[in-house]
Structure 1
Amino acid sequence: MMDTAALQTYLHQQIPLSAAMQVTVHAANPQAVTLAAPLAPNINHKHTVFGGSASALAILSAWSVIHLRLLAEGLPGEIVIQSNEIAYDKPIRGTFEATGTLADAAWPIFRKTLERRGLARIEASARLTCDGEPVGSLTGRFVAFLRTAE
């Protein structure tokens, strides 16, 4: 199982945008992942968080929870995002967080399909907050592929 420091290192190495955004991992387990990023490297011309940064953090948190769940269950997989929808409810004026989660009811079907076909799709969501207040949300559809032995 990957701890918060290991996940943060992994994200920064494998997804360089996360390092540029100064993403930190606040909490990580196979049920939920909370990531945070400061305003300064993610600022726009209105002195609020750039929408692309908010979207990226939300996608990263949702992606990370799937990644950790696959690792916890011993499934060597690759994950990509297929589609997403994001709502920006309020301007983000400071350090912001995204907490990614999965619907537990969807996991058994996803896992069975992944093991049988080597490919499966699952929906994950992320809640964006700033100073503990909700500021947006994301729903994403992700595709996982089982890695084959090389």
Structure 2
Amino acid sequence: MNSAAALEKFLHEKIPLTVSMGVQVTECNDQQLILTAPLEPNHNHLGTAFGGSLHALATLSGYGLLWWLLREPEAHIVIRESTIRYERPVHDVLRAVCSSPPAQEMERFRKDFGRKGKARIALEAAIVQDNEIAAYFRATFVAIGDRS
């Protein structure tokens, strides 16, 4: 996988919810992943973004970034635990930004994965609107190698 378009295709094929939500990969590189989704299929009864959609988009941003950084197409990535804190409502396009972990943590993660076929790492993401953080997200993800 070497492009934002390839990652978006992968997400749409493997996680059908991304299609229903209208998830798009707007930026993907070794420093960060930015996912967006339109408000229309993700709104609540108040016309703002549904909290579950925000949580899902933040989760997908961590999942997608880890998939991108690991560069192991056969790895299975799962979320172990997560927390989200909502700061303000989202009235427009949903936008999740997940930044890469510090290089030292990513190196440890890669070494553990290579040695044990399994590794975990904590990632943080933010839901951003109008250059302000609308929600903070933190999660632990686990990657498991395909040892068949």
TM-score (norm. length: structure 2): 0.93
Q: Percent identity?
A: 37
Secondary structure, aligned partner of 2:113: helix
1:14 aligns with 2:21: no
Aligned residue number for residue 140 of structure 1: 139
Deviation for aligned residue 1:109: 1.2
Deviation for aligned residue 1:147: 1.6
Map 1:9-48 → 2, pairs under 5 A: 9-48=9-48
Deviation for aligned residue 1:76: 3.8
TM-score (norm. length: structure 1): 0.92
Deviation for aligned residue 1:75: 6.8
Cα deviation, 1:98-117, whole Å, max 9, x if unaligned, reads: 01123222111111111111
Cα deviation, 1:23-42, whole Å, max 9, x if unaligned, reads: 11100113211000111000
Contact 2:113 2:119 in 1 (8 A): yes
Secondary structure, aligned partner of 1:91: coil
Contact 1:102 1:123 in 2 (8 A): no
Runs of 4 or more, structure 1, over 3 Å off, are none
Contact 2:124 2:139 in 1 (8 A): yes
Secondary structure, aligned partner of 1:92: coil
Contact 1:125 1:137 in 2 (8 A): yes
**Structure 1 pair 20–112 and aligned structure 2 pair: CA distance change class (3 A):** same
Secondary structure, aligned partner of 1:138: strand
Question: What runs of 5+ residues in structure 2 fail to find an aligned partner?
Answer: none
Contact 1:64 1:100 in 2 (8 A): no
Aligned residue number for residue 56 of structure 1: 56
1:85 aligns with 2:83: yes
What is the rounded CA distance, in whole Å, between the counterparts of 2:108 and 2:43 in structure 1? 40
Q: CA RMSD in A?
A: 1.4
1:97 aligns with 2:74: no
